[in-house]
Amino acid sequence: MAEEASKKAKEGKGEGKRAQRATSNVFAMFNQNQIQEFKEAFTMIDEDRDGFISVGDLKAIYASLGREPKDSELNEMLKEAPDPSKFNFTAFLTLFGEQLHGTDPENTLMMAFKMFDEDGKDYIDEAYVKDLLMNMGDNFTESEVRQTWKEAPITEGKFDYKQMVKIMKRGADEDFQ
């Protein structure tokens, strides 16, 4: 009996070490400046400052953008997290690490852009995208927006986010016909 309890205690310690290694691996994926930028973004989203991102936090950040998505949409967004009930900074960093290393599917990117497509027309007004880039999060400068516009699929003031997702995932050289 004591031997069995000792074995379980050792197993528990081993799991803790594995969990610790997994956590430290995500931090190794980014340099200190990147981690700091992610921390600032997380803090901006964590409206109630409880250390976790919740539906309420997402509602608040979208409200600041003038949007009111449905709870079902916000819950779908949270499902992207490894454990939506415990979406802390480490989980946030892990999610971005996976996305930045090519594991984020096109559909997820598409859904992110669709959140800003209020009319469901498959495009976002160029002026609105520019305003978001220059005034939300890590603000773009006028020069950075001009550089981005060189690559962005914009026609007659309409930002084609479907084509942008294809460019982001497959490159600009692919024929999208």
Same fold: 1-102 with 105-170: yes
Tokens standing for 128?
Answer: 């609105």
Q: What is the pLDDT of residues 102-157, one digit of tens each?
A: 555 678 888 888 888 888 888 999 999 999 889 887 788 999 988 888 888 999 99
29-48 tens-digit pLDDT: 778 888 898 899 999 999 99
DSSP secondary-structure letter at 85? G
Look at 95 and 16; give whichever has higher pLDDT.
Answer: 95
C-alpha 168: how far from chain center:
14
pLDDT in tens, 132-142: 889 887 788 99
What would the pLDDT profile of 42-92 be if each residue is shown by its tens digit? Answer: 999 999 999 999 999 999 999 988 889 999 999 988 888 777 788 999 888
Shortest CA distance to 103 belongs to which of 80, 86, 122?
80
**CATH code, 1-102:** 1.10.238.10
Domain range list for the chain: 1-102, 105-170
Instruction: Return the number of other C-beta atoms located less than 10 Å from residue 154's C-beta.
Output: 19
Q: How far is CA 63 from CA 52, 103, 123, 167, in A?
A: 18, 29, 21, 29
Higher confidence at residue 162 or residue 7? 162
Strand partners, 155: 158
| Distance in angstroms (rounded) separating the CA atoms of residues 54 and 101 | 25
For residue 69, the Cα-to-chain-centroid distance in whole angstroms is 16
Per residue in 160-176, pLDDT tens?
Answer: 999 988 887 666 654 44
For residue 5, pLDDT beyond 90: no
pLDDT at res. 99: 66
Homologous superfamily assigned to 105-170: EF-hand (1.10.238.10)
pLDDT of 171 reads: 64
pTM beyond cutoff 0.85? no
pLDDT of residue 167: 80
